[in-house]
Amino acid sequence: MLTIVVLLLAGCSGGGDKRPAATGTARPPDTVGLTTTVAPPTTTTTIPVPTYVVATAQVARVGVYPEPGAAAPARTFAHPNPTYGSPRVFLVKEEQGDWLNVYLPARPNGSTGWIKASDVSLSEHHYRIEVALSEHKMMVWEKNDVVYEAPVGVGQAATPSTQGIFYTTELIAVVPDQRAAYGPFAYGLSAYSEVLYDFGGGDGQMGIHGTGDPSSVGRSVSNGCIRMTNDAITHLRGLLPIGVPVEIRA
């Protein structure tokens, strides 16, 4: 779902050298919602195809439990997202009967918890994103193939882009008066800055977005967010669903 809003992604609009602000080489772990095809014991080998499962809320508040069968939730997440009005989605890490272990769009980074399968609907896709910070490069994978590559701007030394396994939480159409900073579209991430906890009215959430300054792409200039050219972010908008795993690595 595309939501037109004022962006509150923290740390995204900083750029250039004028303003210091807070910032496994291999594929992302195939344990993230992976369905594996096991090759039979013959001379032919089948390469496992990663399948990622996305849970979309079907209730007004999704309870997150510390373990399957727990009596009460440890926290809840509103649906839709009160910040952007977009559907609440979780990336599924593990399915266990009527319970789902999911990645949470919250601090601390990499948090997981258990939700009830009855509170969500499930969908599948085969995409993932890999961001190599030192190379200033993004690679988009579909199944076992790289289907898109693009240069990116990343966090500067004082405000590094947070590393880890995250996922896209929403797709935002940027309002016209903010497109110079964010470009036409932005993906919210489940990642949060480890330096900025309050920025521009937001809470330090990171994102992937375009920019009105293409010269900043390919450099370490942002307050933590991942920048792309406007053509690149527009291409991603037409290619990817919500709930795509994003590995940000050195």
Beta-carbon contacts of residue 106 (< 8 Å; ≥ 6 apart):
75, 77, 190, 192
Q: Could you give the 3-state DSSP secondary structure of residue 8?
A: coil
Phi-psi region of 158 (alpha: psi -120 to 50; beta: other; left: phi over 0): alpha
By C-alpha distance, which of 121, 114, 26 is closest to 68?
114
Catalytically active residues are 209, 225
8 A C-beta contact, residue 222 and residue 159: yes
By C-alpha distance, which of 232, 242, 236, 202 is closest to 13?
202
